[in-house]
Amino acid sequence: MAIVALVVVYREPLLAVFVEPVPDLANKKTFRKEGLSFDHPGNWSQKYEGSSSSGILIDMVTVESPGASTAIVQRYRRVVDVDPQVYVQAFLDEMSKQKEDTHGIVGTDNRSVDTIQGELLGAPAKGKRVRLAVTLLGEKVPTTVEVLTHSTAAQTVVFMTTCSDEDLARVKPGFELIRKSIALDGSAEAPR
């Protein structure tokens, strides 16, 4: 997708067009920490955040393409019943907050939510797909957000992707590389 941004440098406008690069699958990188691992395209960056909530350790890795697509791998180090609908709603609430914080420069509308099935850790995963229009600088960008969740006997994994519909075919191989390679120490545990 081409996102057009108007940037003022030394009081002179500069028109920039961003095109989502193809994921570099030939030079993939591996994330590995605290028993969580997965591969991601070599030209994508990743950021790890560890936290805890109610005594549950949580690992979250955000993987970003050079364009505007994002994948999040989140692991709860205990079995947690993560409802994909609640997860999606938290994301949409954050987008609404950004709209307020940016005085309407960023926002969302035209939402539809569908139930989806997928696979995580080699087992069936439940999920949600949200189609919405993200507003950036007054331009509506059709966008898809997908969330899949799966629990083993001891842990829960959430995989979320966000991408403009225009770029989805281009970045999907990168998302699939991540999703299919997610592994946990002891991931051979029986699914819950």
**CATH code of 25's domain:** 2.60.120.1690
Amino acid identity of residue 134, one-letter, is V
The answer on pLDDT for 191 being more than 80 is: no
Q: Give Cα separations from 11 to 4, 6, 8, 66, 77 (angstroms).
A: 18, 12, 5, 27, 50
As a whole number, the mean pLDDT across the chain is 82
Q: Considering the domain boundaries, does residue 189 fall inside one?
A: no
How crowded is residue 187: how many other Cβ atoms within 10 Å of its Cβ? 18
Reading the block at residue 14, the tokens are: 């500069």
Sheet holding 70-76, edge to edge: 45-53, 56-64, 70-76, 156-164, 139-151, 123-136, 106-120
Q: Considering the domain boundaries, does residue 10 fall inside one?
A: yes
- CA-based radius of gyration for the chain: 17
Range of the structural domain that residue 178 is part of:
2-184
pLDDT of the residue at 175: 98
* pLDDT band per the 50, 70, 90 thresholds, residue 107: low
pLDDT of the residue at 185: 82
The answer on pLDDT for 188 being more than 50 is: no
pTM, entire model: 0.82
List pLDDT tens digits, range 127-167. 999 888 877 777 788 889 999 999 999 999 999 999 999 99
Query: Who wins on pLDDT, 120 or 9?
Result: 120
Query: Who wins on pLDDT, 24 or 189?
Result: 24
How many structural domains are present in the chain? Answer: 1
Q: Which of 158, 96, 162 is nearest to 130 (CA)?
A: 162
List pLDDT tens digits, range 36-65. 999 999 999 999 999 998 889 999 999 999
Tell the residue number behind the tokens 């697509």, with chain if given: 69
C-alpha to C-alpha distance for 57 and 54, rounded to whole angstroms:
9
Q: Considering the domain boundaries, does residue 154 fall inside one?
A: yes
- For 77-165, strand residue ranges (E) read 106-120, 123-136, 139-151, 156-164
